[in-house]
Structure formats: structure tokens, C-alpha cells
Structure 1
Amino acid sequence: MKLILAVVEDKDSNRLIDALGGKDYKTTKLSTTGGFLKEGNTTLMIGCQDESVDEALAIIKDNSSQREQMVAPISPMGGNADSYIPQPINIEVGGATVFVVPVESFYQF
């Protein structure tokens, strides 16, 4: 058995959960924050059998889109001016960061 931890952008989470549910994958949704933009993410915990990992990963990949986003300048007030971005820039956001870890035991009470 494996545990898949998928960190996705909030905008993709409902579509991904529906796609996983359509293939009978049970998911637990956690609201998380992090990354460069400090924006909300969703972390999904998905338990599955070893032989189902590739299918689950394909569903995650198909439902986690990458897109460009304009980032406004971040003021260096109270911070380090070395990291100041003086003008808006486009960055790529979205997609998924996925960890697949082995599960030694599983209990449901």
C-alpha cells in the first residue's frame, strides 16, 4: 500500500477530487499554505494499492494545470532589499508536487 501526498493549487483541487472520486480513490483534503507566493494550496492524502499508483498519478497530472500569473512588486519594507522585485513579472504557478510513500500499516476504526 502507498500514501500519495499531492500538493496542488486551490483552483485545481475540486476538479482533481472529483476526478479521483470518479475512479473510487478516497481522498482527505487539507488546506495548506506555502511556496513563493505564500498563497493557499490544497494537500490531498490518497491511500491506494501499489498497482494503482500509476493511474492515480496520471489523474493528478491531468487535473493539475500550470499557468502564468502576474506578480506585483513586493515592498522591501522591514525586510531585505536584496529580494525586492521592482516591477511586475510573470511566473508559472500550478501543477502538482507529489510524494509517494510506503505504508507499513493501515487501520480504520
Structure 2
Amino acid sequence: MKLITAIVQNDDANKLIAALRESGFSSTKMSSTGGFLSSGNTTIISVVEDGKVDEEIEIIKKICKVKKKITAAIPPSSFSTVGGYLPQTIEVTVGGAVVFVTPIERFEKI
């Protein structure tokens, strides 16, 4: 058995959980916060049989696509916002998923 831990954007979480459920996978949803852009993330964990790992990862890839987002550039802390500093916007890549697959020695659903 394997533990699949997927860190995804909040925007993708509910759709991913629904797609996993439709394919017979159970999962647990946990809220989390990412360091980059301090954006909200969701961590989804699931325990699957060894032979089902690739199937679940394919579902994650299908739902959690990489996207472009326009955001304000954060000035260095030495900048003062006094004096009319206007932040510039930048395009960043967000989305996708970070997936960890960990061997499970024992699993019990009580």
C-alpha cells in the first residue's frame, strides 16, 4: 500500500476529490498555506493499493493543471510605500500539484 499526498491549489481541490471519488478512491482533505504568494492550498491524502498509484496520479494530473496568474510584485523590505511607490505586476506560474508517494507498512480504517 502507498500513501499519496497531493498538495493542490484550493481552486482544484473539490473537483479533484469528486474525480477521485468517481474512480473509487477515498481521500481526506486538509487546508494548508503555501509559502509562495501565501496562497491557500489543499493537501489531499489517500491510501491506495500499489497497483492503483499510477491511476490516481493520472487523475491528479488531469485535474490540477498549471496556470498563469497576474499578481503584484512584492517590493524588497527596504522600499518604502511612502512617496508613491507603484507596484508592478508580474506573471507567475501557479497550479499543478506536488505529489508524494510513501510506502505504508500498515493501514487500518476504524
Q: CA deviation at 1:107?
A: 1.6
Counterpart position of 2:59? 59
Q: Which runs of 4+ in 1 moved over 4 A?
A: none
CA drift at 1:11: 0.4
Q: Alignment partner of 2:14: what SS?
A: helix
**Residues 69-88 of structure 1: pairs in structure 2 closer than 5 A:** 69-76=69-76, 79=77, 87-88=88-89
> What is the identity, as a one-letter code, of the residue corresponding to 1:87?
Q
Q: Scaled by the length of structure 2, what TM-score is found?
A: 0.88
Identity percentage of aligned residues: 46
| Structure 1 counterpart of 2:35 | 35
Shift of 1:34: 1.1
| Structure 1 residues without counterparts, runs of 5 or longer | none
Structure-1 residue corresponding to 2:95:
94
Q: How many residues align?
A: 103
Counterpart amino acid of residue 109 in structure 2: Q
Shift of 1:100: 0.2
Secondary structure of the residue that 1:37 maps to in structure 2? helix
The one-letter code sitting in structure 2 at the alignment partner of 1:54 is: D
| Pair 28,71 (structure 1): closer, same or farther in 2 beyond 3 Å | same
Larger radius of gyration, structure 1 or 2? 2
**Considering only aligned residues, what root-mean-square deviation do their CA atoms show, in Å?**
1.3
Q: Work out whether 1:46 is the aligned partner of 2:81.
A: no
Q: Could you tell me which residue of structure 2 aligns to residue 7 of structure 1?
A: 7
Shift of 1:80: 5.3
Cα distance in 2 for partners of 1:93, 1:80 equals: 27
**1:10-21 pair list within 5 angstroms:** 10-21=10-21
SS of residue paired to 1:54: helix
1:37-57 Cα deviation digits (max 9, x unpaired)? 111000000110000000000
